[in-house]
Amino acid sequence: MDDRASVLSANLAFYQAFERKDPVAMRNVWAGAASDCCIHPGWEIARGWAAIRATWTSIFANDTPMSVIPEQVGVDVWGNVARVVLVERVSMDGEAIGRVAVTNLFVRTPEGWRMTLHHGSPITPSEEEEEPDDIH
Amino acid sequence: MDDRASVLSANLAFYQAFERKDPVAMRNVWAGAASDCCIHPGWEIARGWAAIRATWTSIFANDTPMSVIPEQVGVDVWGNVARVVLVERVSMDGEAIGRVAVTNLFVRTPEGWRMTLHHGSPITPSEEEEEPDDIH
């Protein structure tokens, strides 16, 4: 498997852990290092695995079924660092709740590619999407 | 100058170009490659320098004086890739308008460290900050 395919596989493992609210799988996705960073939409920066784990514990405590579909996925690899930039289409309980622009960063380790950064920012709906114009 | 200092210097050049609304300085900060990505708070992903330049043209068109102060700056370098994670304290016309969590990514080039990603997400004010509680 080439680097891009391996990185996409690590990225997919992240979304599977996320949707399944699986703390063990989520731990295995991350490097687990002091330099790990995670910024959820609207949140402060969580630095280091201990702080990041606490954010997932809080998110996974909500037991509403959640779907997070990656779209517009772009991958770049520079040596031992890989970047995935994408848009997440997020639904809760089957209802679309919004789109999130995401940067996922991975580092190559002896165990394979591991996440060192997840940064998500809510995409503000355009006026057309938010307020359909019935007049025209 | 070691790598961390060089990266911090490139990061500072970005904020100087931003505050001065200087399109030439901003161009010189970026790698200028098809893989460049920029996500402003609430915006869609801009991919490639041409699309990114258009976002800065749009932002710089607002001639209200702007200040963007980086805080909580953390730097990590992996070979030819460097990551800066920080919080921007943004003011317009001297008035604080909010805080933005940021990932800046740089790549080493023959001309020095150049930006390949800027991703900013608005930090939602905590309830205490947004609505001071006068009762207690």
- Sign of the C-alpha dihedral computed for residues A96, A83, B77 and B110 taken in this order: negative
**pLDDT tens by residue, A7-40:** 999 999 999 999 999 999 999 999 999 999 999 9
**pLDDT tens by residue, B67-84:** 999 999 999 999 999 999
Q: Give the number of residues written for chain A.
A: 136
DSSP for residue A41 = T
Residues in B lying within 8 Å of A, measured between beta carbons: 35, 37, 39, 41-45, 47, 72, 74, 76, 78-81, 83, 85, 87, 101, 103, 105, 107, 116-117, 119-124
Q: Residue B135, exposed/middle/buried by CB under 10 A (0-12, 13-18, 19+)?
A: exposed
Mean pLDDT (chain A) is 93
β-bridge mates for residue B77, sequence order: B82
Classify each residue of A71-102 as buried b or exposed e, where b means 16 or more C-beta atoms within 10 Å of its C-beta.
eeeebbbbeebbbbbbbbbbeeeeeeeebbbb
Quickly list H helices, chain A. Answer: 3-20, 23-29, 49-60, 127-130
Share of chain A above pLDDT 90, in %: 90
**Which chain A residues have a beta carbon less than 8 Å from that of B45?**
72, 85, 87, 101
Distance CA B116, CA B49 (A): 9
Per residue of chain B (136 residues), give pLDDT as tens: 799 999 999 999 999 999 999 999 999 999 999 999 999 999 999 999 999 999 999 999 999 999 999 999 999 999 999 999 999 999 999 999 999 999 999 999 999 999 999 999 999 988 765 544 444 4
Contact between B42 and A123 using a beta-carbon 8 Å cutoff = yes
**Which chain A residues have a beta carbon less than 8 Å from that of B74?**
35, 37, 47
ipTM: 0.92
